[in-house]
Amino acid sequence: MTERRTTIQRPPEAAIRRFQAGQVGDDTVGDYLAKGWSLGICCKACSRLTEWTPPVLVERFADRAGLRIADLVPRLACTGEGGCGSREVAVFPHLYDDAWTWTPSA
Ligand SMILES: [Zn+2]
């Protein structure tokens, strides 16, 4: 993957600590795609911030656009390069920095 410019930033630590999956409401992956939002994933145990951009969300969840973000949160963990392995994460939407359009497949 190529490096790209993003304006995503970690929210204040207090907000991350307070985060609960219920906060994200009923938004689904499809809602994020329709709105052109990235999903920001903040580890509560370390300072890692991962951005799942709309193209990444499509790649991972193309056939599951109805998946609720709230249901996804318990399955996330701080994994991958530099990850600490914690399963405690906070998520938030971030307006994707690149042009994006999405048409749900019927
Ligand atoms: Zn971590």
Q: What is the pLDDT tens value at each position of the chain, 106 positions in all?
A: 456 689 999 999 999 999 998 888 999 999 999 999 999 999 999 999 999 999 999 999 989 999 999 999 999 999 988 899 999 999 999 999 999 999 877 5
Domain-embedded: residue 32: yes
Q: Are 8 and 36 in contact (CB under 8 A)?
A: no
Cα separation, 67 vs 76, whole angstroms? 14
CA of 76 to the centre of ligand 1 (A): 11
Q: Total domain count for the chain?
A: 1
Q: Which of 70, 67, 51 is nearest to 1 (CA)?
A: 51
pLDDT at 44: 97
Domain-embedded: residue 27: yes
Which residue range is the domain that position 44 belongs to? Answer: 13-95
Domain-embedded: residue 30: yes
CA of 88 to the centre of ligand 1 (A): 8
DSSP 26: T
Domain-embedded: residue 4: no
CA of 92 to the centre of ligand 1 (A): 16
Domain-embedded: residue 104: no
Domain-embedded: residue 63: yes
Q: Are 57 and 73 in contact (CB under 8 A)?
A: no
CA of 68 to the centre of ligand 1 (A): 23
CA of 103 to the centre of ligand 1 (A): 34
Cα separation, 84 vs 102, whole angstroms? 33
